């Protein structure tokens, strides 16, 4: 079984298709959940499939921890079933002719054969499937089948878990239902997880590290906070639209007013206190660019709580779009504001200018409101 500490996945992969090529030369430190994030068609699934051993045409090398899975120069190719990898597909892919118990037993049996010790009762409890055991797989709802697929993956006791957009096709309510189970996955699986998503909010809620992909290449790779400070992730997200992600620390919880004070790069933000949150906790915030307004002077008394001095960074505006995106820096953090082009020109904003960022709504990542 893999250790809980970080494993390394060294990738030097080239895969050419007619209209797409994947070129990845990167060492990933795998610790907990690492998101593979990028727009549709950027090559996330292809990368995951190459790691799993499902792309035999991939040239180059793949090395996980101390084990070489692929080295085309040496003619080495460890087939998928020998890689101790669990692959959870977008659509769960349970054995439809078996009941839930049968699906779980199948994985557990294979793990035992490989000398591993799956904990069936533990997984059934952790993923809340006690009442589903006798149900046929093809009778389950979307959310139920995802939970069974996660439990089945855990019971295969892999060294590495690969999840390809496991929330795809679920409505917001079902996604909210599954999210706590996904959050529990690292502790249940005790192995690193690569999690493909094109939704920044989902990534923010689940992952601690991120690999950002565009057009078959890796743009950035590292802890989310660090990558988010150096790269504007919002425009790459296909979830909620342009948005920002910042990491903050709870400095004070005001039990009277029900607010908590958060340190964000040296500035203070205030949010309704989240249940169970304690002083010192680190949280990730999701800020929709449409909820950020810009003022060139400090506004007078108003209902918006979070108003911070900021400096204008990059401005993205085109003649064909009504809105413009403006990057704003405060402390070491960056957020994006989406304002109309008309406002941009009336305010005469320029890179480097000192302004005030007014955040109408800031929420904890993963609330999926």
Positions touching ligand ATP (CB under 6 A) are 17, 19-20, 38, 40-46, 198
Check the CA dihedral 236-239-243-245 and report its sign: negative
Closer residue to ligand ATP, CB minimum distance, 36 or 104: 36
Shortest distance, CB of residue 12 to ligand ATP, whole angstroms? 18
Distance from chain centroid for Cα 264? 21
Closer residue to ligand ATP, CB minimum distance, 89 or 356: 89
Closer residue to ligand ATP, CB minimum distance, 5 or 19: 19
- Return the residue matching tokens 């990730």: 284
**Residue 76, phi then psi, degrees to nearest 5:** -90, 130
Check if the beta carbon of residue 313 is closer than 8 Å to that of residue 294: no
Closer residue to ligand ATP, CB minimum distance, 218 or 250: 218
State the pairing for strand pair 160-164/193-197: parallel
Shortest distance, CB of residue 256 to ligand ATP, whole angstroms? 46
Closer residue to ligand ATP, CB minimum distance, 186 or 216: 216
- Return the residue matching tokens 């069974």: 148
Shortest distance, CB of residue 249 to ligand ATP, whole angstroms? 33
**Integer Cα distance of 226 and 332 in angstroms:** 10
Alpha carbon of 48 to those of 51, 80, 85, 160, 166: distances in Å? Answer: 5, 12, 11, 11, 13
At 246 the three-state DSSP class reads strand
Check if the beta carbon of residue 360 is closer than 8 Å to that of residue 299: no
Q: Which of 189, 197, 151, 207 is nearest to 170 (CA)?
A: 197
Check if the beta carbon of residue 227 is closer than 8 Å to that of residue 247: no
Give bridge partners of residue 330 from the DSSP assignment. 333
Shortest distance, CB of residue 40 to ligand ATP, whole angstroms? 3
Check if the beta carbon of residue 179 is closer than 8 Å to that of residue 368: yes
Shortest distance, CB of residue 277 to ligand ATP, whole angstroms? 33
Closer residue to ligand ATP, CB minimum distance, 220 or 343: 220
Closer residue to ligand ATP, CB minimum distance, 146 or 198: 198
Closer residue to ligand ATP, CB minimum distance, 46 or 338: 46
Shortest distance, CB of residue 66 to ligand ATP, whole angstroms? 28
**Integer Cα distance of 200 and 236 in angstroms:** 8
């Amino acid at each position: 079984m893999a250790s809980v500490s970080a494993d390394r996945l060294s990738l030097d992969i080239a895969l050419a298709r007619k209209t797409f090529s994947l070129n990845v030369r990167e060492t990933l430190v795998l610790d907990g959940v690492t998101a593979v994030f990028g727009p549709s068609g950027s090559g996330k699934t292809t990368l995951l499939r190459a790691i799993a051993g499902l792309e035999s045409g991939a040239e180059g090398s793949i090395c996980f921890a101390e084990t070489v899975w692929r080295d085309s120069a040496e003619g080495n190719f460890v087939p998928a079933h020998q890689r101790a990898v669990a692959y959870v597909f977008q659509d769960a892919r349970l054995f439809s002719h078996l009941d839930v118990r049968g699906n779980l037993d199948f994985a557990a049996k294979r793990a035992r054969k490989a000398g591993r010790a799956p904990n069936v009762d533990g997984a059934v409890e952790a993923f809340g499937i006690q009442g589903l055991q006798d149900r046929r797989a093809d009778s389950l709802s979307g959310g139920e089948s995802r939970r069974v697929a996660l439990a089945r993956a855990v019971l295969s006791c892999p060294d590495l878990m690969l999840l390809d957009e496991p929330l795809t096709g679920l409505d917001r309510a079902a996604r909210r239902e599954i999210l706590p189970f996904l959050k529990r996955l690292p502790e249940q699986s005790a192995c690193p997880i690569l999690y493909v998503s094109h939704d920044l909010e989902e990534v923010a809620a689940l992952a601690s590290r991120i690999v950002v992909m565009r057009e078959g290449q890796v743009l950035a790779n590292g802890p989310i906070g660090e990558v988010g400070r150096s790269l504007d992730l919002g425009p790459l997200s296909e979830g909620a639209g342009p948005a920002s992600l910042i990491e903050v620390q709870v400095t004070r919880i005001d039990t009277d007013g029900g607010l908590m004070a958060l340190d964000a790069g040296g500035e203070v933000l205030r949010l309704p206190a989240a249940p169970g949150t304690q002083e010192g906790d680190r949280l990730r915030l999701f800020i929709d660019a449409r909820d950020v307004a810009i003022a060139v002077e400090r506004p007078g008394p108003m209902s918006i709580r979070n108003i911070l001095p900021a400096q204008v960074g990059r401005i993205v505006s085109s003649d064909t779009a009504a809105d413009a995106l403006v990057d704003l820096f405060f402390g070491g953090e960056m957020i994006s504001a989406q304002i109309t082009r008309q406002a941009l020109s009336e305010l005469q904003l320029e890179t480097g200018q000192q302004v005030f960022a007014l955040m109408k709504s800031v929420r904890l990542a993963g609330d999926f409101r």
